[in-house]
Amino acid sequence: MSKGHDKEQDGKEDTIPLAPVLDPEEMARRTEILAETADKGRALIQEWLARNPDLLQGSADPDPLHLGPLFGELGARFLSDPAALAHAQTKFWQDYAELWGRTIKRMAGEEVAPVVAPPRGDRRFRHPAWSQQPLFDFLKQSYLLTTRAWEQTIDEIEGLDEHERERARFFVRQWLDAMSPSNSPFTNPEVLEETVKTGGENFLKGLKNLLADLERGGGRLIHRMTDERAFSLGENIAATPGKVVYRNELFELIQYAPATDTVFARPLLIYPPWINKYYILDLTPEKSFVKWCVEQGLTVFIVSWVNPDERYRDKGLDDYLAQGQLEALRVVREITGEKQVNLIGYCVAGTLLAATLAWLEANERAEEVASATFFTAQVDFSKAGELSLFVDEEQLESLTRRMEEKGYLDAEAMFTTFNMLRANDLIWSFVVNNYLLGREPMPFDLLYWNSDSTNLPARLHREYLEHMYLKNELVQPGALTIAGTPIDLSRIRTSAYIQAGSEDHIAPPQSVYRMTRILSGPKRFVLAGSGHIAGVVNPPSANKYGYRTRRGRLPQDFARFLEGAVEHTGSWWPDWFSWLKKHAGGQVPAREPGSRDFPPIEDAPGSYVRIRAL
């Protein structure tokens, strides 16, 4: 007898119970909630329209991502090769017929293998009914077959250049992600169960959550990803003891209190990305890279970038290099009295760190830096990952127009763009949880940080996209001049530790690896498990992911590195620290934050980090 038949006999087949009967008082309560949310909804719509008059006047850019020409070209390519299109359709219908046949067999009690299964790590179909109930299993597999058919068809279309093909893949995936049956209240078994169980109160709670998110965003929908009430800056997140010891218009400099009686002589200065806040490296104490470094006996400084407004519209790469990275380096040297400093640059700040090192070389000041560490940073943008899909001449022009009025790229745009890179995890899972199931998001420090996005000065953002992503000038010797100096990365002789994430979609490891062929000094390359954030924030106590290194000279290309790489378990942080100690100098008495010329201004985490944009 089949397993399915056993379930039927035992009465264990998953079913959706009947809806509970509501008493008059409960009905009245829910009616009152609905009326209240309707009134709030109308007010929010009016507020949103008042804040966005260009939508009513027709002056808003109707296609900021320049998708119209892309999909027009895609359609033309479809029609120009009818044989290929017919082949794709035939294959799809054959798979669909196979799925239908297997579903009928399963409904008759037979055990059958699925035609298609979700990719590893896809959390949308975790509920048991997606596999145990034939109807929901059929919906799931139908959707997965459709997704696969679209992806294969785009891959096989001839005549598209690779950039346009990648853009087509990405934006078709956004549409397919949105169309998943898991996102519909009528085809998601978990939502259906919750609706029956609560008599529909989940939708009332979800509506309240939706309106609260709209209200929080001033009429724009900015979904909550975590319970923000669970975190307080300086208390249980960004809580490593320290002082703000310097401040200018671009950044605050934090020096952390020592945790050991003696410290290494040469201090460590960290440049975090100016997208989001610095405390990605100082999350909860268990995950804090800063706290861990302090406990290893390092004198740690970190830059906390300002959250810019319209006053910063003309701040660009020149300013962030000279008034930002170079100025922080100067202050650290003066406070500690050390001639050399060890530097870390994360993501975009790592890209600028490479330019800063080249600037120092050209101006005969390279001896100020003992070593440089790069966290998931790119300098060669020829294969720059999915963010490059948002950058071409037309999109840059549209973005420039958008930034002109405000003087900055608002945090919402960056928040949405980065979430699109992992839409199922960072957008649609919260749509289901918050609005369809009517639940509150769970406390999660990493998502609290992710929701704390920053604005970006118009000039800085435009220059970064144009010179790095669009023209790839940073790796062309002398093509880019910053702070009055032509930049030539090949002149950099500083010893470098280069870290990449094996699953990084923002700075792909093969792109990060290109830095090893450009810098002239000694280099160590480490490939960490996971992605852009978890690959970096991976404390030894977690014992997760692992990392790969290679003995001897680094090969020319990333594929060769992988062939000869040695795998290690756990965090790569101890590997980095073993490398850093060679550049850290001897032991000196521990340093309290500040100095006579730079007295502490206030306790960490300071004031700039508290300025929210969302």
Residues involved in catalysis? 347
- 559, 570, 579 from 567: Cα distances, Å: 15, 10, 17
**Distance of alpha carbon 17 from alpha carbon 368, whole angstroms:** 70
With a CB cutoff of 8 Å and minimum separation 6, the contacts of 279 are: 233, 237, 238, 449, 605, 609
Core vs surface per residue 549-573: b (16+ CB within 10 A) or e: bbeeebbeebeebbeebeebebbbb
Which of 586, 482, 614 minimizes the C-alpha distance to 264?
586
Pairing of strands 456-457, 408-409: antiparallel
Amino acid at 572: W
Half-sphere exposure for 200 (CA within 13 Å, toward CB): 11
With a CB cutoff of 8 Å and minimum separation 6, the contacts of 71 are: 168
**Distance of alpha carbon 217 from alpha carbon 196, whole angstroms:** 31
User: H/E element holding 251?
Assistant: strand 251-256
Query: What secondary structure does DSSP assign to 183-194, as a single string?
Result: G-TTT-HHHHHH
The H-assigned helical ranges of 493-540 are 509-513
Can you tell me whether residue 431 is helix, strand or coil?
helix
The H-assigned helical ranges of 370-478 are 393-406, 411-420, 423, 429-430, 445-450, 458-464
Structure tokens at 163: 């950039």
Core vs surface per residue 124-142: b (16+ CB within 10 A) or e: bbebebbbebbebbbbbbb
**Distance of alpha carbon 250 from alpha carbon 563, whole angstroms:** 43
**Distance of alpha carbon 467 from alpha carbon 486, whole angstroms:** 13
Torsion from C-alpha of 328, 295, 367, 318, nearest 10 degrees: -30
**Distance of alpha carbon 230 from alpha carbon 575, whole angstroms:** 33
Amino acid at 480: L
Which of 614, 290, 278, 267 minimizes the C-alpha distance to 452?
614
Number of C-beta neighbours around residue 589 at 10 A: 9
**Distance of alpha carbon 594 from alpha carbon 504, whole angstroms:** 37
Which of 535, 563, 576, 61 minimizes the C-alpha distance to 344?
576
Cis peptide before 605 (omega within 30 of 0): yes
- 112, 392, 435 from 448: Cα distances, Å: 43, 31, 19
